[in-house]
């Protein structure tokens, strides 16, 4: 398990694989100087509830991993994270198993906004 340290003070725990994908997606947005919300739900053993952070280039973030070997990134997972950051809700942490469904859900509003119809 690794950690995101937000503003140099508060730490949030994530599995290393999830954390690596978050680091890539967050880095993509911050390189563009884009601000966004980062959201996730806590499991019951962590007290339940939801957490939302405001991510901005001016707020220090530290990513600390427990493992020494970086995982191979799933580009679709990174894509989902980056694309959800562009929604009013913000970047939403999802499990890798849910990537295909999230990509499908994200494509529906984009097609509707573009005026595309299938009928």
Containing 100, the helix (H) or strand (E) segment is helix 99-113
User: Is the pLDDT assigned to residue 115 strictly greater than 70?
Assistant: no
Q: Which domain holds residue 56?
A: 2-113
pLDDT tens digits for range 91-108:
999 999 999 999 888 875
pTM here is 0.85
> Which pLDDT score is estimated for 111?
44
DSSP state of 46: G
- For residue 51, tell me if it sits in a domain: yes
Residue 104, φ and ψ in degrees, nearest 5: -65, -45
pLDDT tens digits for range 42-91:
888 878 899 999 999 999 999 999 999 999 999 999 999 999 999 999 99
Number of separate domains in the chain? 1
Task: Report the alpha-carbon distance of residue 55 to residue 36 in Å, rounded.
Answer: 5
Task: Report the alpha-carbon distance of residue 30 to residue 63 in Å, rounded.
Answer: 14
* Contacts (Cβ under 8 Å, ≥6 apart) of 99: 74, 76, 77, 80
- For residue 119, tell me if it sits in a domain: no
């Amino acid at each position: 398990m690794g950690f995101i340290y937000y503003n140099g003070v508060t730490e949030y725990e994530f599995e290393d694989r999830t954390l690596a994908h978050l680091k890539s997606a967050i880095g993509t947005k911050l390189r563009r100087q884009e601000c966004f919300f980062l959201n996730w739900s806590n499991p019951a053993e962590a007290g339940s509830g939801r957490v939302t952070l405001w991510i901005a280039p001016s707020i220090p973030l530290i990513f600390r991993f427990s493992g020494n070997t970086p995982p191979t990134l799933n580009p679709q997972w990174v894509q989902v994270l980056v694309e959800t950051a562009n929604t009013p809700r913000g970047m939403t942490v999802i499990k890798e198993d849910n990537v295909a469904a999230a990509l499908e859900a994200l494509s529906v509003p984009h097609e509707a906004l573009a005026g595309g119809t299938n009928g």
